[in-house]
Structure 1
């Protein structure tokens, strides 16, 4: 029998992710807060646009969610019209939202009471990774639920890894964002220094990218940083949301992340410059402005 998958949330990530499931031959039902977006998706893929969450998840084997934040998860999962009240017993719920570890733990416990599985599965790779089916997925949950859900996630991922119990996926995504924040600030300072030193910045990047300074950010963002182009990629507003969760979790577990706290404030400066939707690599613009 064909596996039925519901996909809740068709933003820049969810839209192509659901598309990969349809291309794989699964029976896909989609729901989006803006119903026209679901209709648009269904016009381009083999699948069904649903007008309610209850309709979308009825009879589903898997329910995938990819929404904005904790409050959005509460909205789509809980209440009479939500996922928990309407998904069939035995279904596995997989949340791709970058959210708090606390909400993941809460939803996992609530799902268990309903006879449902739950995996918190935040993603890394950006819109391009979603479109190309090359996402990295960090999972928290039981071995049993993971073994059922991982073949579904592999349709849009290059790596799917179970890190531990519920909440572990979200905590691993925090590690990811902490690492990125420091890397982007360091790259911004390096490029800014090269500019101020009147060096050929592209030639400098070509040289140092062959050594220990090499990183994904350098390979994929240095060119647009040099050109001052930031209307692409992962938005500053989203990064600040993520870093806020990192800082909150760090306080809970007594982890010291002072560089992350500093970079978060630098992103606040970028927001005040009008860069709320700029890519995270726009940190360099702050240095250019305040030099």
Structure 2
């Protein structure tokens, strides 16, 4: 059993922190909206802190799952930040999808005070968090990763260290680039099927077992065909992630023309009022063009 602080009990963090309790760990949570931390505490029996620092005091591990670079800085740094409450030798594990820049900054800040820092962004969406089957891609010192990996098994289906600090975030960028391209292709395919007078469900049944098949096809085609787009990761958050990808591509000179195009298509979805629709709503954009 370890003493764990979990910072950010939103859609993803709430069940993840719960799985740590179920695994036998002593968990204290923090959330910017304290009522969410109180609700989590009532459901799972763990404690909650009113600041990240308070939650982190005495913790062996501090996990975070917040919104963006600035949110991560705010829970780590400053007088009320987690780093101010962490003991030397403790490990901070960040599950937020953020830039490699802020990861490098916080890794260095942790080194200065003797705190380990593992970047460990997640994939699998709300369902993956609720079912404890997330994919977790990690970067950081191998000793810190090996210490934290058994805890992540509580909610991870696959957990892998990809290299030194920042490599987890870079791998998550690869993940988001893939998703953007696959969803645009799937949206165009389903739109084409509709225009051709085909039954979309029958089409998917035939093609999903072959080379055209994908997780997105298997798990999203029905809701897409039904024009329902409230099943998972929101467009607003995907645009945040794609901006990180495109910014990193400017630094490493990678060419991402499709990613840039799909990012603009998601901007169109936002203009339709779909910022909180899930990422499969690219089909909604195509229908709107009719």
Partner residue in 2 for 1:165: 164
Matches of 1:39 and 1:78, distance apart in 2: 23
CA RMSD of aligned residues (A): 0.7
Deviation of 1:178 (Å): 0.2
Aligned residues: 290
State the secondary structure of the residue aligned to 2:118.
strand
Residues 253-290 of structure 1, C-alpha deviations (whole Å, 9 max, x = no match)? 00000000000000000000010000100000111111
Residues 162-189 of structure 1, C-alpha deviations (whole Å, 9 max, x = no match)? 0011110000000000000000000000
Partner residue in 1 for 2:28: 29
- Aligned ranges 1:192-211 → 2 under 5 Å: 192-211=191-210
State the secondary structure of the residue aligned to 1:241.
helix
Indicate yes or no: 2:4 matched with 1:5.
yes
Residues 211-236 of structure 1, C-alpha deviations (whole Å, 9 max, x = no match)? 10000000000010101000221100
- The 8 Å contact of residues 108 and 118 in structure 1, kept in 2 or not, is answered as yes
Matches of 1:210 and 1:84, distance apart in 2: 49
Partner residue in 2 for 1:156: 155
| Deviation >3 Å, runs of 4+ | none
Indicate yes or no: 2:86 matched with 1:87.
yes
State the secondary structure of the residue aligned to 1:155.
coil
State the secondary structure of the residue aligned to 2:205.
helix
Partner residue in 1 for 2:264: 265
Deviation of 1:119 (Å): 0.2
Partner residue in 2 for 1:228: 227
Gaps of 5+ in 2: none
- The 8 Å contact of residues 54 and 82 in structure 2, kept in 1 or not, is answered as no
Matches of 1:40 and 1:205, distance apart in 2: 41
Matches of 1:199 and 1:52, distance apart in 2: 55
TM-score (norm 2): 0.99
- Aligned ranges 1:1-291 → 2 under 5 Å: 2-291=1-290
Residues 89-130 of structure 1, C-alpha deviations (whole Å, 9 max, x = no match)? 110000000000111111011101100111000000000000
Matches of 2:238 and 2:52, distance apart in 1: 28
Deviation of 1:46 (Å): 2.4
Matches of 1:132 and 1:107, distance apart in 2: 30
- The 8 Å contact of residues 136 and 156 in structure 2, kept in 1 or not, is answered as yes
- The 8 Å contact of residues 19 and 132 in structure 2, kept in 1 or not, is answered as yes
Gaps of 5+ in 1: none
Residues 36-78 of structure 1, C-alpha deviations (whole Å, 9 max, x = no match)? 1111000000210112222211110000011000000111111
Residues 197-218 of structure 1, C-alpha deviations (whole Å, 9 max, x = no match)? 0011110110000110000000
